[in-house]
C-alpha cells in the first residue's frame, strides 16, 4: 500500500498587537498581496493571526526549498473570476502543495509533495448556530443525537476535503457524507478520492487535514 505524507505545523498566535506593534522587517517579508490583505483586517486579532500564519508558511517553505522566505512567489488566481484570492500555489516549486487555516488564536499550515492538501481548524463553538445542519450536514447525518464536538469535527473534515480537491465551498457540504478519519473517500463525483485525518488539537478546537491522492494511507508528521 502506498503511503502519502503531509507535514503539519500548528501554532498559537501571539497576543494581538495591531499595526503599531508590527515591525517593518516583518511586513517586508510578505508580498504586496499579503500586505494588502493584512492591512484590510480591521480586528487586530485577525490581523495578528493572518500575519503569524503567513510568516510561518514562508519560513517553513523557504527551509524546504532552500530559498529566503521573502523571495517565495505564489499564484492565487481564482479559476472562476481570475482574481488573486484562491488557494496559494508555489511558483518556485509546483510540486509542493500547501494549505492554510486560522482562527484568532490558532494557525495551521499543511505541506505535501504527495498531492493537493487541505487543512482546516475551527472553534468547537463555531458550529453552535441555528441552521447549522442545513448548511453542513448530509441528510443521512442529521438527527437529535448530534453533539457540538461531533458537529465541529464534521465541519473541519468536510472543509479540509474540499480544500484538498481545490473546490472549497463552491461544492455544497451537504451533498456528501463526512469522510471517516483515515479512510479514502470519493466525496465529489468525478474527482480524486480524499483521505482525511483528524488532528490532535487542544480544546476548544477541532482540526483535520486531507490529501487528494490515490494513495491508500496518509501519514501526518507534526512539527
For the chain, the helix, strand and coil percentages under 3-state DSSP, each to the nearest 5: 35, 30, 40
The span from the CA of 205 to the CA of 132, in Å, is 17
Structural domain boundaries enclosing 199: 3-222
User: Tens of pLDDT along 54-109?
Assistant: 999 999 999 999 999 999 999 999 888 888 888 899 999 999 999 999 999 999 99
Mean pLDDT over each residue of the chain, to the nearest integer: 87
57 vs 140, more confident: 57
Per-residue pLDDT at 50 exceeds 90: yes
> How many structural domains are present in the chain?
1
User: Tens of pLDDT along 174-207?
Assistant: 888 889 999 999 999 889 999 999 999 988 899 9
Per-residue pLDDT at 135 exceeds 70: no
| Domain harbouring 76, CATH code | 3.90.470.20
Q: Is the dihedral of CA 128, 149, 132, 163 positive or negative?
A: positive
Amino acid at each position: 500500500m502506498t503511503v502519502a505524507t503531509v507535514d503539519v505545523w500548528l501554532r498559537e498566535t501571539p497576543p494581538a498587537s495591531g499595526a503599531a506593534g508590527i515591525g517593518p522587517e516583518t511586513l517586508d517579508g510578505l508580498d504586496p498581496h499579503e500586505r494588502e490583505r493584512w492591512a484590510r483586517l480591521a480586528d487586530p486579532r485577525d490581523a495578528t493571526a493572518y500575519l503569524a500564519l503567513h510568516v510561518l508558511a514562508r519560513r517553513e517553505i523557504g527551509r524546504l526549498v532552500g530559498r529566503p522566505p521573502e523571495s517565495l512567489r505564489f499564484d492565487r488566481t481564482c479559476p472562476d473570476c481570475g482574481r488573486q484570492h484562491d488557494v496559494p500555489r508555489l511558483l518556485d516549486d509546483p510540486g509542493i502543495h500547501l494549505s492554510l487555516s486560522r482562527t484568532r488564536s490558532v494557525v495551521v499550515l499543511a505541506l505535501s509533495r504527495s498531492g493537493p492538501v487541505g487543512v482546516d481548524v475551527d472553534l468547537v463553538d463555531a458550529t453552535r448556530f441555528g441552521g447549522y445542519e442545513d448548511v453542513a450536514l448530509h441528510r443521512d447525518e442529521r438527527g437529535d443525537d448530534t453533539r457540538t464536538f461531533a458537529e465541529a469535527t464534521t465541519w473541519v473534515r468536510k472543509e479540509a476535503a474540499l480544500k484538498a480537491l481545490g473546490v472549497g465551498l463552491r461544492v455544497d457540504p451537504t451533498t456528501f457524507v463526512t469522510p471517516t478519519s483515515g479512510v479514502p473517500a470519493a466525496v465529489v463525483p468525478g474527482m480524486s478520492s480524499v483521505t482525511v485525518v483528524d488532528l490532535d488539537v487542544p480544546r476548544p478546537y477541532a482540526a483535520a487535514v486531507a490529501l487528494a491522492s490515490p494513495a491508500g494511507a496518509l501519514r501526518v508528521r507534526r512539527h
